[in-house]
Structure 1
């Protein structure tokens, strides 16, 4: 449960059990431990009402330590990859390589451990792993030989369809990227738009209905 990951700090750094900030924070945290985010917001609001210079400094330090303790119990280390099941593996690899991703490798998987992992019998599948240029994001493409892949939705499903609809990539020149992807049969979903003075954005539908969003930061 999310609440059990939190630990109450009895005193703020450099404080004492009688500190007014510690007293102000302890009650709302203990009362709302089942909802830690609400507890933290309420605690910070109470701290804002303490008007001494010492209080403001100690409150900031105390809140940072409390948030750190919550984050230190996080169970995941990173987001590793996103899986996309495809039919034409070569075409989808070419699309993502044109986008700027790098092909790490390809392999074929099968056997008892694979069946147990995915909950299917007689699995034999080709896998290709691609990574972003910075090495922090990956897309795994899988083509099933057996059992035959199934489609749960229309290939060109609109963006308000339930489920994972697209992946977003940061680019330097959005128009150049769109032009390159058009050579692989891609087309815009909607229009290329300017969002305030921050970004130029668009959605592109590629092979097998895969949608990627592109974002070019301005300024």
Structure 2
């Protein structure tokens, strides 16, 4: 199955703890998205799940109100990178927890070009999404390159709360309760190009940053280190 998305990152919350769309948009404003400053590359389009055709160039104020009233998603540009923020839960390959999704189209990152600029773009996306996770108290975040999850990748919610996983993905965000179950030092010593403790006490784990080379280290190496044996 083909996809227009290069990266799909899901951020899951505990039941009843999913931050409201309005708070999400306020956070995006505070972090430089949707600034609409003259000469800026940051802008916004809004799309409704019920629309037959996408609606482009919607004023930001209207996009805010639309997102509150119905399921939709926002197409954002930050530092020239397009992100799509989705505001509905389909649970396709996602744990049965409320969540938000950020998607990055294939055309935004040149996988065949492992230049410093492309790796900078990857880190820009990671910084934005990890900061969002910190600020909105995400319980568990995950996502893959290339985009798309199989039904068999679904993580069991009770197992997540015990710090148990069936898979490690390209993007992994473990909240402080999960970190406590697995072991802080053990996680921080895991193989990966970006393994860091966040201000929230969560840990971000990304095996590799160069999307053109998925071999070193591979998520399977992290699974072996954490003694995870996928079914």
What's the TM-score, normalizing by structure 2?
Answer: 0.25
| Greater share of residues in helix | 1
